[in-house]
């Protein structure tokens, strides 16, 4: 028989004391009900041992009930703790779900912001590329316009240069006609420039070889033309005086008078080189005299 069964049996056993029965009933849940009659003095001694045993049984039953109550309390505490842990776990899970939702929302916001920034940057790049293309087109247009203007200026300059060349050709033709006319007048008036020079060379005591050097020199310089004009240096006349107005010191009509030009030229050669052959030698080595 187990301890619990023995306890039940002891508690439910009727006790007889004189004429009154004592019934003790107990439950293992911890509640105890006792109905006891008042014993008579005659039976007090005989029932003392029984009562003590019953009290001991009741105390044991009470201890067992208390232990059971403690066990149940501990089980309830553990159940409450488990429930609290479950609630806490559920709260933690809910917090984790909320945090994950917040993280996903933040990630979506970050991606949306990144996408917006990327779109803005792409639009900025596209606008910059468009501006650069417009600038290149404008530069190309300006370059084409400048090139067209330069070509027009070159054509205008070429036309002006051609007009100047034509004017120079006309002027040269007129000068040539005047030169030939003057030459003919000079020849008719006192002989050709060479014959005048030959006579002047001889009058200075220079021989025919000196006249030969003079002929080669002035043939190179002016071709013996009284109106020969060098456009680059403005040298003028048979001796190519620079400037031609210097020849006015040798006589009248220095522009067309062969005798005046030859006189000045021979004076210049004599003062600068000593003789026509010396002047010719200098001209051959330096290309001027």
pLDDT confidence of residue 254 = 96
Mean pLDDT over each residue of the chain, to the nearest integer: 82
Could you tell me the residue ranges of all domains in the chain?
A: 3-83, 191-286
pLDDT confidence of residue 41 = 57
pLDDT confidence of residue 188 = 45
Sequence-separated (6 or more) residues with CB below 8 Å from residue 257: 186, 226, 251
Cis peptide before 243 (omega within 30 of 0): yes
Task: Please give the DSSP secondary-structure letter assigned to residue 246.
Answer: G
Taking 3-state DSSP, the helix, strand and coil percentages for the chain, each rounded to the nearest 5, stand at 75, 5, 20
Sequential pLDDT tens for the chain (289 residues): 565 565 556 555 554 444 444 444 444 445 544 444 455 555 666 678 888 888 888 888 888 889 899 999 999 999 899 888 889 888 888 888 988 988 998 888 899 889 899 889 988 898 999 899 988 988 888 888 888 889 988 888 988 988 888 887 787 677 656 555 555 554 444 579 999 999 999 999 999 999 999 999 999 999 999 999 988 888 999 999 999 999 999 999 999 999 999 999 999 999 999 999 999 999 999 999 9
pLDDT confidence of residue 178 = 55
Q: Describe the strand order of the beta sheet including 14-17 as a list of residue ranges.
A: 14-17, 20-26, 32-35
Using CA atoms, how far residue 181 sits from 42, 218, 260, in Å, is 201, 20, 17
The continuous run of DSSP H or E covering 17 comes out as: strand 14-17
pLDDT confidence of residue 32 = 47
pLDDT confidence of residue 22 = 43
pTM score over 0.85: no
Task: List residues bridging with 24 in a β-sheet.
Answer: 34
Task: List residues bridging with 26 in a β-sheet.
Answer: 32
pLDDT confidence of residue 209 = 96
Q: Which of 205, 222, 284 is nearest to 258 (CA)?
A: 222
């Amino acid at each position: 028989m187990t301890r619990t069964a023995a306890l039940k049996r002891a508690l439910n056993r009727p006790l007889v004391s004189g004429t009154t029965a004592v019934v003790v009933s107990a439950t293992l849940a911890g509640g105890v009900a006792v109905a006891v009659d008042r014993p008579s003095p005659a039976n007090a001694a005989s029932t003392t041992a029984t009562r003590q045993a019953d009290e001991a049984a009741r105390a044991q039953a009470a201890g067992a009930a208390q232990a059971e109550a403690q066990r149940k309390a501990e089980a309830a505490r553990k159940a409450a703790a488990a429930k609290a842990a479950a609630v806490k776990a559920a709260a933690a899970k809910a917090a984790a779900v909320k945090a994950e939702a917040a993280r996903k929302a933040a990630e979506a916001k970050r991606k949306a912001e990144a996408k917006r920034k990327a779109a803005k940057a792409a639009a900025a790049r596209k606008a910059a590329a468009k501006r650069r293309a417009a600038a290149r087109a404008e530069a190309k247009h300006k370059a084409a316009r400048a090139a067209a203007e330069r070509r027009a200026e070159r054509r205008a300059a070429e036309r002006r240069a051609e007009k100047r060349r034509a004017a120079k050709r006309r002027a040269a033709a007129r000068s040539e006609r005047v030169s030939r006319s003057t030459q003919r007048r000079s020849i008719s008036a006192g002989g050709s420039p060479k014959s005048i020079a030959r006579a002047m060379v001889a009058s200075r005591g220079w021989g025919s070889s000196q006249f030969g050097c003079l002929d080669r020199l002035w043939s190179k310089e002016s071709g013996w033309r009284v109106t020969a004009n060098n456009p680059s240096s403005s040298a003028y006349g048979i001796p190519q005086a620079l400037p031609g107005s210097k020849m006015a010191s040798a006589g009248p009509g220095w522009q067309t008078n062969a005798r005046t030009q030859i006189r000045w030229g021979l004076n210049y050669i004599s003062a600068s080189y000593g003789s026509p052959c010396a002047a010719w030698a200098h001209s051959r080595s330096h290309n001027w005299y």
